[in-house]
Amino acid sequence: MTQFLYLQDKTHECPGRAVWMTTKALNMDIESVSVNLERGENKTPEYLKMNPFHTVPMYNDNEFVLWESRAIMKYLANKSGETSLYPKDAKKRAVIDSRLDFDLGKFWPALKEYAYPQVLQNKPPNPDRETDMIDALDNLELLLNQSKYIAGDQMTLADISLFCNVSFLWMSKYDFAKYPKIHAWYEGMIKLPYYKETNQDFNDWIHTTH
């Protein structure tokens, strides 16, 4: 049985951390391979043969290869048989999918335009793109006004995926004073027993380089 999780080297950026946290939440022990993007390790012939889109994270389960973090997270939850993070009930699952689509279609693109490349290149977030970021954060605050977690009363894959994106802003010192619900939810998420193992490197890296 050979399973490998390909994660971005050292910094463990958002989607990779989300998949890694999911493996921990599911008690799955999967060997990880670190991929250094600066050295082009995601563009070697071997890597491109598995994933022609050259993205990380990527998961290889006995030659069954998947990329796109949310798809990997769902597959892992389905494979593990654990049902709280991604319940089988059609309505519960649909709500989680809706929140994950919000993350992929709105939150992550806003983050990517507002802060991602800038902060990674040691620059301040782009003020011209702040409106979209605020809109996405307002949406998230609204969801957390309705329930303790993003898709209801228990933690699901939607919390893990959005947490990793919110944490990018948090760790780059965004001011969350306007968002008391996000604040309380975030404080709860960092108490997860596997939080440090999966996030500390990124946290340290972003604080030492920025």
Ligand X SMILES: N[C@@H](CCC(=O)N[C@@H](CS)C(=O)NCC(=O)O)C(=O)O
Q: Does 37 bind ligand X (CB under 6 A)?
A: yes
Q: Does 42 bind ligand X (CB under 6 A)?
A: yes
Q: Does 106 bind ligand X (CB under 6 A)?
A: no
* Among the residue ranges 49-57, 125-133, 139-147, 199-207, the one whose residues contact ligand X (CB under 6 A): 49-57
d(C-alpha 101, C-alpha 98), whole Å: 5
Rounded to 5°, the CA angle 59-83-107 comes to 60
Q: Does 120 bind ligand X (CB under 6 A)?
A: no
Q: Is 103 exposed, middle or buried (0-12, 13-18, 19+ CB in 10 A)?
A: buried
Q: Residues 5, 7, 25, 56: which binds ligand X (CB under 6 A)?
A: 56
Q: Does 23 bind ligand X (CB under 6 A)?
A: no
In the complex, the smallest distance separating the C-beta of residue 108 from ligand X, rounded to whole angstroms, is 7
13 vs 159, beta carbon nearer ligand X: 13
Q: Does 152 bind ligand X (CB under 6 A)?
A: no
Other CB atoms closer than 10 Å to residue 199's CB: what's the count?
A: 21
Q: Does 68 bind ligand X (CB under 6 A)?
A: yes
Q: Residues 5, 6, 8, 206: which binds ligand X (CB under 6 A)?
A: 8
In the complex, the smallest distance separating the C-beta of residue 4 from ligand X, rounded to whole angstroms, is 16
Instruction: Tell me how many residues contact ligand X (CB under 6 A).
Output: 11
Q: Residues 24, 34, 54, 134: which binds ligand X (CB under 6 A)?
A: 54
CA nearest to 132, candidates 159, 169, 91: 169
In the complex, the smallest distance separating the C-beta of residue 182 from ligand X, rounded to whole angstroms, is 20
Q: Does 11 bind ligand X (CB under 6 A)?
A: no
Residues interacting with ligand X, by CB under 6 A? 8, 13, 15, 37, 42, 54-57, 68-69
